[in-house]
């Protein structure tokens, strides 16, 4: 085996600083819904940590931020075990990296004897993930992602969201299915909400993502009911009696049952088509129903998804391309100077 270079004291020190910073920023973002830095600053620190770990694999511990799904379970909520784990997404920040990722995934599918995968391309909604458990078509529980294994019980709060049916429409439902999606506040609703705040002499909310997260994670569901929350489905977890073969086919079935499915998703055959999708939404990112921070590309075929599996943090059949930040603060430089 190739030996990793010895860790210099300065690298080891930087490593500890990075882990502590990222953990504290994650706590503020996920638990308080009040980030201390911009996403771009956070992503830079996270990339630096990944680079350090790639250089010095001996530094990586099981609880490194690169190995766990960020987010805890607040004591304000009952803890809920997801039936199937929830994951984060692997991020790439350039089109070259995305292309390399897609080619590698396609090669891995073909090496296993599969045919070239079809790509399900979606917008990466800037909100927070929920896991909805339906038994025989009835919503029995809703939870936040939490650390991926255990989330927070937000069933009463979710009951106030008009987009999410308490009972699926029609018939022929699976015995059990976990439907995952992103709860968000639409761009128009966010503007209207802030107009009301300002008219009442109150400070406006900073951004839709944290307002959506804070609104869903209210102790009092009556407060959640006052906020204009929406949702789009972006995944499925445990399923029993659901026989669809692809994720897109599943979306269409869920749509017929009254679940909110994004109007923006596409199933594409080739890499240039995926690149066009990215270019199009890069140009139109402010003309959409909701804010986005990137594009998610998934292998559409469910059997292939199962074959490719996942790491401790992310699925191996999906990747998130993040658009370049539109505004980067300089605080990171201050942090670097201070350590």
User: What residues are designated binding site for NAD(+)?
Assistant: 39-43, 88-89, 122, 145, 182, 298, 322
Q: Residue 217 interacts with ligand NAD (CB under 6 A)?
A: no
Which one of residues 15, 18, 21, 26 is an interface residue with ligand NAD (CB under 6 A)? 26
CA 305 → CA 83, 149, 279, distances in Å?
Answer: 18, 19, 26
Residues 183-212 that bind ligand NAD (CB under 6 A): none
- The Cα–Cα gap between 291 and 126 comes to 6
- Give the three-class secondary structure for 222: helix
Which one of residues 15, 18, 21, 42 is an interface residue with ligand NAD (CB under 6 A)? 42
Which one of residues 125, 133, 193, 302 is an interface residue with ligand NAD (CB under 6 A)? 125
Q: Residue 179 interacts with ligand NAD (CB under 6 A)?
A: no
Q: Residue 300 interacts with ligand NAD (CB under 6 A)?
A: no
Q: Could you list the active site residues?
A: 124
Which one of residues 45, 49, 122, 139 is an interface residue with ligand NAD (CB under 6 A)? 122
Which two tokens mark 150? 């255990």
> Which among 337, 298, 335, 338 is positioned nearest to 319, based on CA atoms?
298
Which one of residues 39, 152, 178, 189 is an interface residue with ligand NAD (CB under 6 A)? 39
Tracing tokens 């055959």 back to the chain, one arrives at 269
As a residue count, the chain comes to: 339
- Least separation, in Å, of the C-beta of 150 and ligand NAD? 15
Which two tokens mark 92? 């790439």
Size of the site for ligand NAD (CB under 6 A): 24
Q: Are 258 and 168 in contact (CB under 8 A)?
A: yes
From 6-14, 23-31, 213-221, 223-231, span contacting ligand NAD (CB under 6 A): 23-31
Q: Residue 82 interacts with ligand NAD (CB under 6 A)?
A: no
Q: Residue 50 interacts with ligand NAD (CB under 6 A)?
A: no
What are the strands, taking DSSP E only, across 165-228?
Answer: 176-185
- Least separation, in Å, of the C-beta of 262 and ligand NAD? 7
What are the strands, taking DSSP E only, across 75-175?
Answer: 79-81, 90-92, 119-125, 128-135, 138-144, 150-152
Q: How many CA atoms are closer than 13 Å to the CA of 293, on its beta-carbon side? A: 19
CA 50 → CA 32, 59, 322, 329, 335, distances in Å?
Answer: 25, 11, 16, 21, 18
For ligand NAD, the closer CB: 79 or 314? 314
- The Cα–Cα gap between 153 and 135 comes to 16
For ligand NAD, the closer CB: 139 or 236? 236
Q: Residue 290 interacts with ligand NAD (CB under 6 A)?
A: no
Q: Residue 89 interacts with ligand NAD (CB under 6 A)?
A: yes
Q: Are 200 and 24 in contact (CB under 8 A)?
A: no
Q: Which residues bind ligand NAD (CB under 6 A)?
A: 25-26, 29, 35-39, 42-43, 70, 88-89, 91, 122, 124-125, 129, 145, 182, 234-235, 296, 320
């Amino acid at each position: 085996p190739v030996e990793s270079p010895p860790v210099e004291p300065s690298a080891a020190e930087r490593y500890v600083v990075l882990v502590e910073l990222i953990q504290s920023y994650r706590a503020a973002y996920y638990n308080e819904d009040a980030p201390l830095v911009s996403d771009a600053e956070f992503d830079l620190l996270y990339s630096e940590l990944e680079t350090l770990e790639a250089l010095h694999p001996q530094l990586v511990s099981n609880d490194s931020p690169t190995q766990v799904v960020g987010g805890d379970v607040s004591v304000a909520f009952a803890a809920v075990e997801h039936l199937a784990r929830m994951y984060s997404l692997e991020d790439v920040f350039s089109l070259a990296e995305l292309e390399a990722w897609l080619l590698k995934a396609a090669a891995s599918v073909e090496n296993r004897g599969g045919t070239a995968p079809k790509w399900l391309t979606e917008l990466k909604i800037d909100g927070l993930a929920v896991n909805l458990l339906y038994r025989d078509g009835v919503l029995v529980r809703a939870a936040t992602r939490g650390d991926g294994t255990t989330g927070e019980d937000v069933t009463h709060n979710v009951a106030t969201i008009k987009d999410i049916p308490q009972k699926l429409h029609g018939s022929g439902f699976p015995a059990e299915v976990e439907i995952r999606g992103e709860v968000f506040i639409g761009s128009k609703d966010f503007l209207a909400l802030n107009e009301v705040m300002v008219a009442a002499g109150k400070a406006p909310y900073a951004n839709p993502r944290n307002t959506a997260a804070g609104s869903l994670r209210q102790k009092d569901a009556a407060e959640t009911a006052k906020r204009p929350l929406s949702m789009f489905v972006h995944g499925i977890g445990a399923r029993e009696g659901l026989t669809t073969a692809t994720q897109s086919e599943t979306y269409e079935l869920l749509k017929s049952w009254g679940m909110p499915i994004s109007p923006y998703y596409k199933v594409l055959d080739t890499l240039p088509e995926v690149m066009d999708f990215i270019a199009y939404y890069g140009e139109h990112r402010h003309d959409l129903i909701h804010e986005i921070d990137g594009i998610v590309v998934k292998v559409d075929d469910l059997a292939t998804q199962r074959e490719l599996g996942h790491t401790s943090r992310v699925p191996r059949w999906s990747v998130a391309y993040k658009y370049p930040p539109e505004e980067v603060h300089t605080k990171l430089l201050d942090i670097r100077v201070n350590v």
